[in-house]
Amino acid sequence: MEDLYEVTHENVQLAVRDQDEVVFVERFAARDAVNVLTKVGGRFAMPPTGVGLVLLAYAPAEVQERVLAGPLVRFTAYTITDPGRLRRVLAEVRRTGFAVSDRQVTDDAVSVAAPIRSGDRVVAALSVVVRGDSAAAVRGLTPTVRAAARGISRVSGIGPLGPHHVGSSRQETAGGIGPPGLRQGTAGGIGTGESHAPESTSSTLASDSRRTARGGRDEPHAQ
């Protein structure tokens, strides 16, 4: 995750699903990166965000139907609020293995996200958010984000997280709210924190991604 930040110097986010919402568990952000509405430990609707589209696309059918049947909140003129169109977008995410959110949350931000897997299950999503006025803003970043997500999937060691795949219950700590097993010091070992480089929060997931990119060498956590 930290390597992805070093390559892009944009907003890099890690999120999981808790019931019908996204919970952001870690973020790296450059001081001059585009502003985002999300924050670490915060919750957000799934449909407008890149990570949310990934998590919704791979969620159980009953979760998808519940979200599609509920109100789809509009944040910008580009937010998808038609259930039929959203259903087609989710099918495309499953087909391609990534999601793009084109100015659906704010008018100047575009994100690309990819799934993080544990076995055959999607347990989290990784994204980069950049300033842009079309989906083309993230076209060149898509292979990089997908490769980073695959690398984290291989080495993260994320275990079973309960009947809802991700976030079967909430745990409140000083770092915010998130599902057990995906927080620092718990079974999943994924840390929670928001960083403005070079002040990065320690996490097993970030460490694993660095280790993968650097050929198995572990690097010290940034403080």
Chain segment 153-204, per-residue pLDDT in tens:
988 654 433 333 333 322 222 233 333 333 333 223 333 344 444 333 323 3
Instruction: Report in angstroms the alpha-carbon separations of 13 from 4, 10, 70, 166, 216.
Output: 10, 10, 26, 16, 23
Chain mean pLDDT for the chain: 75
Question: Would you place residue 87 in the very low, low, confident or very high pLDDT band (cuts 50, 70, 90)?
Answer: very high
Instruction: Say if domain 2-213 classifies as CATH 3.30.450.40.
Output: yes
pLDDT of residue 156: 63
| Burial of residue 108, with CB atoms counted within 10 A of its CB: 0-12 exposed, 13-18 middle, 19 or more buried | middle
**Non-local CB neighbours of 12 within 8 Å, separated by 6+ positions:** 1, 4, 5, 27, 28, 29, 126, 127, 128
Return the domain boundaries, the chain: 2-213
Task: Give this prediction's pTM.
Answer: 0.72
pLDDT of residue 157: 55
